[in-house]
A and B are shown apart, each in its own frame.
Chain A
Amino acid sequence: MPAILSKYFLLSDAFSLFFLFVIFIVSLPSAIYSFGYLKGAYSPARITIAGILFLAFVLSMAVVVSAANCVVFLVFWEIMSLVSYFLVVFDTRQEKSIRAGMVYIVMTHIGTAFLIAALLVMYKYAGSFEFSAIKDACREMPAQTKNIIFLFLLAGFGTKAGIVPLHIWLPIAHPQAPSHISSIMSGVMIKTAVYGLIRFVIFILGVDSAWWGILLIVLAVVSCLAGVIYALMEHDIKKLLAYHSVENIGIILLAVGLCMFFLSVNMPYLAVFSLIAGMYHLINHAIFKGLLFLCAGSVYKSAGTRDMEKLGGLIKSMPQTAVYFLIGAMAISALPPLNGFVSEWLTLQAFFLGALNTAGGFKLFFGICAAMLALTGGLAAACFVKAFGITFLARPRSRRAEEAKEVSLSMKAGMFFLSAMAVIFGLAAAKVIKLLAVVCGAATGLDTAGMAFSLNNFALSPQAGARVYLSLPLLALSLAVLLAAGYAVYVLSGSRKIALYKTWDCGYYKLDARNEYTATAFSKPFRIAFSFFLLPYRKTQKIRESFYHVSSFAYETHTTPVFRKYIYEPLLAAVFRAAKSMRRMQPGSIHLYLGYIFLTLFILLIFMGKF
């Protein structure tokens, strides 16, 4: 029995175990959360269905990351996609869900088609579906074939991961699922694509062209920036988070691309180091994105809307959810001493070290990539100031936001667990890196026993004699002490009168929620600065009672979805045109159909005889 199991599953592979860990660290709190979340929102029968689908979803992901056989992998990959489709359309009452599900299932199958093609070509060379056999066969594969397989794998897994421009389904489908499912989809499911990319490209296929890594880095930079800029423009809190998944997948793939580059130029230490940075960010993103989606779900459940422009002031009615969201927002904005900071710092260091150890143009390329990563970080911080500030602070902007209540215990427990993880994975960075070194060694097939990885030692090459230090516990401690010192100064300087009074309103005396800054206004500078990409337009209309009296103004502003408008819509139109012209083949005459069958048979016979 174990022999059969190990034929189809990787049972003791550190890399697979790592992904199993990632799956369960998010699924567990999501499952706990779902008890409170689903209760009252759906009928008991539907809650049971949701539970079954949830289990199937998690198990299929677990099988995907531990399969040792292409067929098993593909079958469960498909099951994962289908189950998540049913979860996306779970809210069948909403028409939006059906449309989101449609886009999702079409895109995900296009991706799967590429995967099947790539795996079939691999099969042709190996004569077996087993990973180990394919890995051996790939050594003798011609470079041209390898390139094509790589591009197919990139398209296939890229669709699932949501890299730009294949991201189109992600911000539509993820927010539409129930929130605990969104948290798993964004936190974990898209990571299975990263798993697949690393497993098939790095482990099985083997990287031998430098351009693979460079291509992936360029795509990842575009994903980072496009994801975060779209997120800034978004006011639907769950959509905003979904766009941030595009951004964060970009950051992870930056590190993976860097790893591929270093492997191709034979720098094993740097390759493993970059992959550690990437895998660290992967688990961090799973934690804080899972957390943020759960918090967004709590907001949605108690305030009844996901539109930030109708929220506000929730920190007073939902104090605990607010704290959890704040922790998630700080982690995703890479603020010390939380986990996102560590992995972003490591990724930046990976780029810097890459620049130090390559020559000429690569130096500048890596430097600019690092700068773009820094820009992404800055924009993400701005976006989460907006997300937290508009949703939780100041006054409520609608009745429902005013009446929001703190969520139930099971929901709080789920959020608490992930918040604690965000803190722990920050403070225990040194330990995590040691463990990840083993994981990344397994992923690349390199021996990492002789490589020392820690936060404190990057003495890599003779020219880099000096070392770099980062100690998260020390950083957290000094921040805490200084915080306490500041407070002590405040308290010890004696008591002064503190008056509560209205916010300064320039003597208007009628300040209400309508005077608050909105999410649209907050993102205006960004809309203007990135107008070359967002192509914003606005419509103003004067509504007149008479020629002399304007009773009110209507004002609308939109940004142009560039990828949808210039890539997908023309493509879709072409598909429909082709389908229309194909219709002429189907006139309804049975004789003609019999003719088709005969013709097909004839062509197939010739084909079989020739090849």
Chain B
Amino acid sequence: MPNPLIIILHIGVFIVLAPLISGLISKIKNNLRMRRGQSLLQPYYNLAKLFSKGEVIADTASWIFRAAPFAVFASALCAALFVPVFMAAAPLPGVGDFLALIFIFALGRFFLALAALDTASSFGGMGSSREMFISALAEPALCMAVFAIFLRCGTTDIPSIFASCGVSVSGLAAALALFLVAIAETSRMPLDNQETHLELTMVHEAMVLEYSGRRLALIEAASYIKQLVLFLLIAQIIFPVTPEYRAAPAQIFLSLAWYFGRLIIIAAAVALLEVSVAKMRLFRAADFLGFAFVTGIIASLCAILGI
């Protein structure tokens, strides 16, 4: 029987911690560019600001536009339930596995893409079309990465993967494939640019262009959570650790600190990638994600060879 307290605590950690990762990436990016940059806590300020503001809703929009942010938010949090943090088991045991997680992400994306079309704005349509294009091409790469992990661990169950798999070449290659997919899924360079609102380049921002106020806040929070889920999965595959709980409180703190500390390395990698590459043309996304797919195949080959 799952413990409701644990679930609430788990979800709370994701909601509270997730924006920090984005703040961190942005801070590292700015520092790499020799700028001071915004505060680490800026994403929180943004969310607070959005939450206190009123909304403007397009008069052509239907209930899809109004409901989509909640669907996006729920699907991101539901994905968070798949990833264990405090215990070796997931907070909601038996709800689903790694493959189901892919479909959960698809659920949120589906509604966001529909909402973008709902406003009758060309920007929304553009964003929607591009998002579905990129995510469709990311799907085989993601599946291949999961496949490699599956071959190595013999299961697609996330807690078992977390518990059983040590470091290996195939794991690293699979993590690289996952990383590239995560770049695409979290709308980062070189496939998308979170920092601009240029119609030639924007993907995610174009989709949410008509949103404002609390609905926008929910969507932003959902993207932070999705990002954290993906990064945690990658971190666990590169640096497999499980936090200890039965030990003294100080140790709990230390193990949790390392559990989340690994994210700093991932965040730094993302930031480094973002400052060092230029935005690709949309149609070159096929090359980028094709590379991720091939990386996934290499990971599977390594897993077959047992390395």
Partner-B contacts on A (CB < 8 A): 313, 315-316, 330, 333-336, 341, 344-345, 348-349, 352, 355-356, 360, 363-364, 367-368, 370-375, 377-379, 381-382, 384-386, 388-390, 393-395, 456, 458, 463-471, 474-475, 478-479, 482-483, 485-487, 490, 493, 496-505, 511, 513, 515-518, 521-526, 528-529
With A and B bound together, what is the CA distance between A135 and B17 in angstroms? Answer: 64
With A and B bound together, what is the CA distance between A504 and B123 in angstroms? Answer: 9
Give B246 Cβ to nearest chain A Cβ, in Å: 22
In the complex, whether B142 has a CB less than 8 A from a CB of chain A is yes
Choose from A355, A379, A503, A524 the contact partner of B58 (Cβ within 8 Å): A503
Partner-A contacts on B (CB < 8 A): 51-60, 62-64, 69-71, 73-75, 77-78, 81, 92-97, 99-100, 102-104, 106-107, 109-110, 113-114, 117-126, 128-130, 132-133, 135-144, 147-148, 150-151, 153-157, 160, 164, 209-210, 213-215, 218, 282-283, 285-286, 293, 296-297, 300-301, 304
With A and B bound together, what is the CA distance between A374 and B104 in angstroms? Answer: 14
Give B157 Cβ to nearest chain A Cβ, in Å: 5
Are the CB atoms of B125 and A522 closer together than 8 Å? yes
With A and B bound together, what is the CA distance between A478 and B82 in angstroms? Answer: 11
**Chain B residue, CB-CB nearest to A528:** B283
With A and B bound together, what is the CA distance between A525 and B203 in angstroms? Answer: 13
Are the CB atoms of A341 and B210 closer together than 8 Å? no
In the bound complex, residues from chain B placing their C-beta under 8 Å from that of A497 are 54-55
Are the CB atoms of A335 and B209 closer together than 8 Å? no
Are the CB atoms of B156 and A496 closer together than 8 Å? no
In the bound complex, residues from chain B placing their C-beta under 8 Å from that of A465 are 154-155
With A and B bound together, what is the CA distance between A526 and B134 in angstroms? Answer: 10
Are the CB atoms of B110 and A502 closer together than 8 Å? no
With A and B bound together, what is the CA distance between A523 and B129 in angstroms? Answer: 7
With A and B bound together, what is the CA distance between A14 and B1 in angstroms? Answer: 37
In the bound complex, residues from chain B placing their C-beta under 8 Å from that of A470 are 94-97, 100
In the bound complex, residues from chain A placing their C-beta under 8 Å from that of B118 are 389, 393-394
Known: A394-B119, A466-B155, A511-B120. A382 touches B136 (CB 8 A): yes
Interface of A is mostly: helix
**Chain B residue, CB-CB nearest to A344:** B103
Choose from B56, B75, B154 the contact partner of A464 (Cβ within 8 Å): B154
In the bound complex, residues from chain A placing their C-beta under 8 Å from that of B51 are 493
Are the CB atoms of A334 and B136 closer together than 8 Å? no
With A and B bound together, what is the CA distance between A390 and B117 in angstroms? Answer: 7
In the bound complex, residues from chain B placing their C-beta under 8 Å from that of A356 are 150-151, 154
Known: A393-B62, A522-B128. A464 touches B155 (CB 8 A): yes
Are the CB atoms of A496 and B213 closer together than 8 Å? yes
Are the CB atoms of A348 and B99 closer together than 8 Å? yes
Are the CB atoms of A517 and B99 closer together than 8 Å? no
Are the CB atoms of A501 and B58 closer together than 8 Å? yes
Are the CB atoms of A483 and B156 closer together than 8 Å? no
In the bound complex, residues from chain A placing their C-beta under 8 Å from that of B132 are 378, 381-382, 385-386
Counted as pairs of residues, one from A and one from B, with CB atoms less than 8 Å apart, the total is: 281
**Chain A residue, CB-CB nearest to B107:** A335
Choose from A364, A471, A502 the contact partner of B96 (Cβ within 8 Å): A471
In the bound complex, residues from chain A placing their C-beta under 8 Å from that of B142 are 374
Are the CB atoms of A475 and B120 closer together than 8 Å? no
In the bound complex, residues from chain B placing their C-beta under 8 Å from that of A498 are 54-57, 213
**Chain B residue, CB-CB nearest to A228:** B136
Are the CB atoms of A374 and B102 closer together than 8 Å? yes
Are the CB atoms of B54 and A364 closer together than 8 Å? no
Give B206 Cβ to nearest chain A Cβ, in Å: 10
Known: A378-B139, A517-B117. A333 touches B106 (CB 8 A): yes
In the bound complex, residues from chain B placing their C-beta under 8 Å from that of A499 are 54-57
**Chain A residue, CB-CB nearest to B161:** A466
Are the CB atoms of A496 and B122 closer together than 8 Å? no
Known: A466-B155, A498-B54. A345 touches B114 (CB 8 A): no
**Chain A residue, CB-CB nearest to B71:** A483
Give A478 Cβ to nearest chain B Cβ, in Å: 5
**Chain B residue, CB-CB nearest to A361:** B304
Choose from A341, A372, A517 the contact partner of B103 (Cβ within 8 Å): A341
Are the CB atoms of B283 and A393 closer together than 8 Å? no
Are the CB atoms of A486 and B74 closer together than 8 Å? yes
Are the CB atoms of B214 and A496 closer together than 8 Å? yes
With A and B bound together, what is the CA distance between A567 and B80 in angstroms? Answer: 49
Considering residues B52, B106, B123, which has the most beta carbons from chain A within 10 angstroms of its beta carbon? B106
In the bound complex, residues from chain A placing their C-beta under 8 Å from that of B62 are 315-316, 393
Choose from B60, B81, B110, B210 the contact partner of A385 (Cβ within 8 Å): B110
In the bound complex, residues from chain B placing their C-beta under 8 Å from that of A487 are 70
With A and B bound together, what is the CA distance between A384 and B151 in angstroms? Answer: 32
Choose from A388, A395, A468, A486 the contact partner of B120 (Cβ within 8 Å): A395
**19 residue pairs A–B, Cβ–Cβ below 8 Å:** A330-B110, A341-B100, A374-B140, A381-B109, A381-B132, A385-B113, A393-B120, A395-B120, A466-B155, A469-B93, A469-B97, A469-B157, A474-B95, A493-B214, A503-B120, A504-B58, A504-B209, A517-B124, A517-B125
With A and B bound together, what is the CA distance between A517 and B104 in angstroms? Answer: 27
Known: A486-B73, A498-B57. A363 touches B304 (CB 8 A): yes
With A and B bound together, what is the CA distance between A501 and B75 in angstroms? Answer: 29
In the bound complex, residues from chain A placing their C-beta under 8 Å from that of B75 are 479
With A and B bound together, what is the CA distance between A381 and B105 in angstroms? Answer: 12
Are the CB atoms of A388 and B114 closer together than 8 Å? yes
Give B35 Cβ to nearest chain A Cβ, in Å: 30
Give A513 Cβ to nearest chain B Cβ, in Å: 7
Give A577 Cβ to nearest chain B Cβ, in Å: 41
Give A92 Cβ to nearest chain B Cβ, in Å: 37
Are the CB atoms of A503 and B60 closer together than 8 Å? yes
Give B73 Cβ to nearest chain A Cβ, in Å: 4
In the bound complex, residues from chain A placing their C-beta under 8 Å from that of B144 are 367-368, 371
Choose from A352, A364, A385, A471 the contact partner of B304 (Cβ within 8 Å): A364
In the bound complex, residues from chain A placing their C-beta under 8 Å from that of B301 are 364
In the bound complex, residues from chain B placing their C-beta under 8 Å from that of A395 are 60, 120
Are the CB atoms of B157 and A468 closer together than 8 Å? yes
Give A608 Cβ to nearest chain B Cβ, in Å: 59
In the bound complex, residues from chain B placing their C-beta under 8 Å from that of A521 are 125-126, 129
Known: A355-B151, A502-B59. A345 touches B110 (CB 8 A): no
**Chain A residue, CB-CB nearest to B130:** A525
Give A337 Cβ to nearest chain B Cβ, in Å: 9
With A and B bound together, what is the CA distance between A385 and B68 in angstroms? Answer: 13
Known: A348-B99, A503-B119, A515-B120. A375 touches B136 (CB 8 A): yes
With A and B bound together, what is the CA distance between A371 and B147 in angstroms? Answer: 9
Q: Identify 5 new A-B residue pairs, CB closer than 8 A, beyond the known A368-B144, A517-B117.
A: A364-B304, A465-B154, A474-B92, A503-B210, A511-B120
**Chain A residue, CB-CB nearest to B124:** A517
